[in-house]
Amino acid sequence: MIVVMNPSATPQQVEQVAKLIREMGLKDHIIKGTDLTVVAVIGDDRKKDRGALEQVPGVDRVVPILAPYKMAARESKPNRTVVKLGNSATVGGNQVAIIAGPCSVESRAQILDAAAKCKAAGANALRGGAFKPRTNPYSFQGLGEDGLKMLAEARDATGLAIVTEVVTPGEVELVAKYADCLQIGTRNSQNFKLLEAAGKQPKPVLFKRGMSMTLDEFLQASEYILAAGNGNVILCERGIRTFEDHTRNTLSLSVLPELHLRTHLPVVIDPSQGTGHARLVPDMCKASVAAGADGLIIEVHPDPSHAMTDGAQSITPDTLATLVASLKRIAAAVDRSV
């Protein structure tokens, strides 16, 4: 960090700042400019309370320099992280992964049908919630372990890796027993005990950005999973809350180039929660691939008008097949493949 002094700060006040920095076990380096004096801090200050220095008389502001996330930062790893999903997909390599399936597992017949149709349409992995974090307690909460068993059967039938959500730390082990990748949803993005529990088990984690989270907070939260021992983290943008109301959320695609600069972790886009409307999903998928997405997680339902959850934003398998054909061309234009 750098401590910027007020123009009127006295030499005694500058010395007090330098002394406090040394008390923190760090080194100080005083730089006197023509108008201002700044005190640079040498050493890793991330475990210190930087804000406390702002209380010293004569201090104008404290500017952090080191990224507050160590393991997620781009510079911490020479190569980009490539995450394997079961035996059917990789996320973060040259190929753009297509994770498709219904919002929720509704029945054995529904998930087996959806899995077969998604695979035929070009998907590499299957999504489907067995534990659903619902805004309303009376809404369908998912089939729980029965739903996980149905997903496992769908994997056996199609070979598609399973991505499914875990909602509580206590269910991490159960979900990890069936899933190839644990999804952590937007509503749990700062449930740090859940993030740690997901970090202590071996399956990859698809981690969604909180709906009101800055990118800095998103990366710091992902650090909980990494620091607990699990390096296989996929970041997922699913839209944020804004004043805009023509979509369910505002799908912020500029996070793609920005996250690729800040982190080595792969980034996937969820255009379904991101827009809330099936009619908007294909174009947002195309824009995402053009902007460097490492994967897409798309809600696909064989019969959207009878879906138990998120029918309005679910595309059909036929739409997925047409979309995948376009995505192949767009991917080729940006030196990727689908």
Is residue 114 a contact residue for ligand PEP (CB under 6 A)?
Answer: no
Minimum distance from residue 281 beta carbon to ligand PEP (Å): 13
Minimum distance from residue 266 beta carbon to ligand PEP (Å): 17
Nearer to Mn ion, 103 or 167 (CB): 103
Q: Which part of the chain contacts ligand PEP (CB under 6 A), choosing from 147-155, 185-193, 286-294, 327-335?
A: 185-193
Nearer to ligand PEP, 67 or 166 (CB): 166
Q: Which part of the chain contacts ligand PEP (CB under 6 A), choosing from 44-52, 183-191, 199-207, 327-335?
A: 183-191
What is the end-to-end Cα distance of the chain in Å, rounded? 43
Give the SS3 label for residue 75.
helix
Query: Is residue 167 within 8 Å of residue 131, measured between CB atoms?
Result: yes
What are the backbone angles phi and psi of residue 136, rounded to the nearest 5°? Answer: -110, 130
At how many degrees (to 10) do helices 108-121 and 145-158 cross?
40
Is residue 275 a contact residue for ligand PEP (CB under 6 A)?
Answer: no
Nearer to ligand PEP, 45 or 294 (CB): 294
Give the SS3 label for residue 285.
helix
- Applying the rule CB under 6 A, the residues between 194 and 223 that interact with ligand PEP are 208
Total residue count of the chain as it appears in this document: 338
Of 299, 293, 289, 281, give the one whose Cα is nearest residue 123.
Answer: 299
Minimum distance from residue 309 beta carbon to Mn ion (Å): 6
Minimum distance from residue 270 beta carbon to Mn ion (Å): 8
At how many degrees (to 10) do helices 108-121 and 317-333 cross?
30
Nearer to ligand PEP, 313 or 319 (CB): 313
Query: Is residue 70 within 8 Å of residue 46, measured between CB atoms?
Result: yes
Task: Kindly determine how many residues on this chain lie close enough to bind ligand PEP according to the rule CB under 6 A.
Answer: 9
- Applying the rule CB under 5 A, the residues between 77 and 106 that interact with Mn ion are 103
Minimum distance from residue 201 beta carbon to ligand PEP (Å): 19
What separation in angstroms does the CA of 119 have from each of 58, 103, 141, 247, 317? 64, 16, 26, 28, 9
Query: Is residue 232 within 8 Å of residue 83, measured between CB atoms?
Result: yes
- Distance between alpha carbon 25 and the CA centroid of its chain, in Å? 35
Residue 338 to residue 329: CA distance in whole angstroms: 9
Is residue 273 a contact residue for ligand PEP (CB under 6 A)?
Answer: yes
Task: Kindly determine how many residues on this chain lie close enough to bind Mn ion according to the rule CB under 5 A.
Answer: 2
- Applying the rule CB under 5 A, the residues between 158 and 177 that interact with Mn ion are none
Given 129, 204, 266, 304, the residue binding ligand PEP (CB under 6 A): 129
Is residue 310 a contact residue for Mn ion (CB under 5 A)?
Answer: yes
- Applying the rule CB under 6 A, the residues between 42 and 71 that interact with ligand PEP are none
Is residue 240 a contact residue for ligand PEP (CB under 6 A)?
Answer: no
Q: β-pairing, 181-184 with 59-63?
A: unpaired
Q: Where are the alpha helices (DSSP H) in 191-296?
A: 192-199, 215-227, 255-262, 271-275, 281-290
- Site residues for Mn ion per CB under 5 A: 103, 310
- Site residues for ligand PEP per CB under 6 A: 103, 129, 185-187, 208, 238, 270, 273
